[in-house]
Amino acid sequence: MRKSALLFLSVTVMGTIPSPVWAQQEEYPIIVVPTGEGPFTFPQGYQTPWDQIEIMVTEKMSPNLFVLHGSQGLDRGHPDASGGRVMVLFGPDGVLLVDTQNRQVADKTLAAIRTFTDGPIKVLVNSHVHSDHTGANAFFANQGALIFAQENLRLDMITPRRPGGPAPTRDPASVPVVTYRYDPTAPGEPAVTLNMNGETVDFIPMMPSHTGGDTVVRFRNANVIYIEDFYRNFGFPFAAQTSGGSIQGMIEAIDLFQTIAGPDTWLIPGHGTLIHREDLLPYRAMLVDIVTRVTARRDQGQSLEEVLAANLTAPYESQGDTQQSRDRFVRAVYAEVRDFPPIVNGRRAMP
């Protein structure tokens, strides 16, 4: 009863305000489709049904900066919303993309873009090498995109998985064309700045964190930064060490954000919900706590199995945490305490 009265009221108010005034009152971001909260369960042997996954506009960050993400509850790897977020800047200068989602949904990703712009696809920047972010690279390169990324990402893509093993069967069109490096003497400095569609866009190479080839992408006017996967709020932290990632680097990445983001800057993770820089702080505290505890135990001579059995992450458990994501996190911390291999050709030779 009360709900229908409110609905009637809001319709009446909308009807009395001239539309230009109404448009001015629109505030960003607009959350179009919230990410799923779960809980999600999948039967043994479940295979992701790519044909059922939809790619849609899930958030609008400004009048010409939209975010695409996939349906919830279908993708076992990312049940809260399938794949990794894609950002689309559009307008008279054409389309700039951050990441390309999974290869299997490339047509749907393009179709979602075509619901709001028919501009040419011009620029693509990859935040990191994982297939939920680069899977449709070749598809979008064939649409006309020039691909930018860190050099480490390109090397990780083209280097055979095992030394001397067969070269990856990847479409050469998927490999980044314009590359740059992270400069440890100037963290936070953009490697590339583009002026397009009334925006100024910075590609900021990151220290080895989620991988050894991460880039975050800042949209200065919208006051938005795509922060990819060094932070997550669904499941435990993931440093892809074989691709050069580092838990310690994730802590450094968070610290960098206290200077490159303002208090009101919207941060867009590859997965999970949108946040501000202050939301990174409890995550940092958790990382530091687990690193400290695991280091102490490894220094005492405890085996990986003993450290895993201690269940150090118990105080931090929340929705979306699986045994696999917990163990992967603790295993990564344990591996970093001692004899952590250097990055060579975008990879670490993890034992």
Which residues are near Zn ion by CB under 5 A?
A: 84, 132, 229, 270
Q: Which is nearer to Zn ion, 155 or 227 (CB)?
A: 227
Q: Which is nearer to Zn ion, 77 or 91 (CB)?
A: 77
Residue 84 CB, nearest approach to Zn ion (Å) = 4
Residue 128 CB, nearest approach to Zn ion (Å) = 7
Q: At a CB cut-off of 8 Å and minimum separation 6, what does 99 contact? A: 84, 85, 86, 87, 124, 125, 126, 127, 133, 134, 226, 228, 270
211: tokens are: 């991988």
Distances (CA, A) of 143 to 112, 118, 195, 238: 15, 12, 21, 32
Q: Which is nearer to Zn ion, 202 or 229 (CB)?
A: 229
Q: Which is nearer to Zn ion, 249 or 270 (CB)?
A: 270
Q: Which is nearer to Zn ion, 64 or 209 (CB)?
A: 209
Residue 133 CB, nearest approach to Zn ion (Å) = 5
Q: Which is nearer to Zn ion, 103 or 297 (CB)?
A: 103
Residue 315 CB, nearest approach to Zn ion (Å) = 25
Side-by-side strand order, sheet with 146-150? 30-31, 55-62, 65-70, 86-89, 95-98, 121-125, 146-150, 178-180
Residue 99 CB, nearest approach to Zn ion (Å) = 8
Q: Which is nearer to Zn ion, 84 or 135 (CB)?
A: 84
Residue 68 CB, nearest approach to Zn ion (Å) = 13
Residue 235 CB, nearest approach to Zn ion (Å) = 11
Q: Which is nearer to Zn ion, 84 or 213 (CB)?
A: 84
Residue 154 CB, nearest approach to Zn ion (Å) = 18
